[in-house]
């Protein structure tokens, strides 16, 4: 018989990117509240707007979405381990020690970090964030010894041409590696022309 969700996550170590975003907050809260025996929840987080990662985690924990969890299990936050990093940086900007720990211990990745702004420069959106950031996460995932699941949560509008979006893998319209290559070599004027 298949394990229940809490049984599956018991003792597991989970890495979440985009944990401060709309979906990431809900995911983090749900895992901590509904899977009491979960192991470590690694949260990849970068400094932002002059706030360090510890300050951002404290701010995150104060959000309303965590009210029930704070009342029910105020110690749950101790299961969260910050990984200082940034998906826009080579090697995700994480330390060698953190990388080694993830390679040894991580069982599940939820990659939800992405830019959902539509006025972003194409080079930034593709090269630094959504496409290359995902490639960087996949590269790290390939080195993990105990990884069982990699979940990629794509941006909300990536398949807006479909009337019904199913929970399945859709083939890419264009080869993501080719898109990265094009954005690397194409001049800014041509990219600006293509952005609309």
- Of the pLDDT bands very low, low, confident and very high (cuts 50, 70, 90), residue 180 is confident
Q: Is the pLDDT of residue 118 over 70?
A: no
Mean pLDDT of 61-86: 94
Mean pLDDT of 62-88: 94
Say what the pLDDT of residue 9 is: 98
- Of the pLDDT bands very low, low, confident and very high (cuts 50, 70, 90), residue 177 is confident
Say what the pLDDT of residue 154 is: 73
Say what the pLDDT of residue 88 is: 87
**In the beta sheet, which residues pair with residue 48?**
51
The residue ranking higher by pLDDT, 39 or 178, is: 39
pLDDT digits (tens, 9 = 90+) for 33-63: 999 999 999 999 988 777 788 888 899 999 9
Say what the pLDDT of residue 128 is: 64
Q: Is the pLDDT of residue 8 over 80?
A: yes
Compute the distance between CA of residue 110 and CA of residue 166 in angstroms, rounded to an integer.
19
Angle formed at CA 30 by CA 25 and CA 33, multiple of 5 degrees:
120
- Of the pLDDT bands very low, low, confident and very high (cuts 50, 70, 90), residue 100 is very high
Q: Is the pLDDT of residue 188 over 90?
A: no
Compute the distance between CA of residue 104 and CA of residue 145 in angstroms, rounded to an integer.
6
**In the beta sheet, which residues pair with residue 44?**
17, 83
Domains of the chain in start order, with CATH, are 5-194 (3.40.50.720)
pLDDT digits (tens, 9 = 90+) for 124-170: 666 666 788 889 999 999 999 999 999 988 765 667 778 887 888 78
């Amino acid at each position: 018989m298949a394990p229940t969700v809490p049984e599956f996550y018991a003792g597991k170590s989970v890495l979440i990117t985009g944990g401060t975003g709309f979906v990431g907050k809900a995911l983090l809260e749900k895992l901590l509240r509904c899977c009491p025996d979960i192991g470590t929840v690694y949260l990849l987080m970068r400094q932002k707007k002059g706030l360090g990662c510890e300050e951002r985690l404290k701010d995150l924990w104060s959000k309303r979405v965590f009210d029930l969890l704070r009342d029910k299990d105020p110690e749950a936050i101790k299961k969260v381990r910050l990984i200082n990093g940034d998906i826009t940086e080579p090697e995700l900007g994480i330390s060698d020690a953190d990388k080694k720990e993830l390679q040894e211990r991580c069982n599940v990745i939820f990659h939800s970090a992405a830019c959902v702004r539509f006025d972003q420069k194409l080079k930034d959106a593709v090269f630094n964030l959504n496409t290359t950031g995902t490639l960087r996460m996949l590269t790290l995932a390939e080195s993990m010894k105990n990884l069982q699941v990699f979940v990629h949560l794509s941006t909300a509008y990536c398949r807006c041409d479909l009337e019904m979006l199913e929970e399945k893998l859709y083939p890419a319209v264009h080869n993501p590696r080719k898109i990265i290559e094009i954005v690397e070599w194409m001049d800014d004027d041509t990219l600006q022309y293509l952005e609309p």
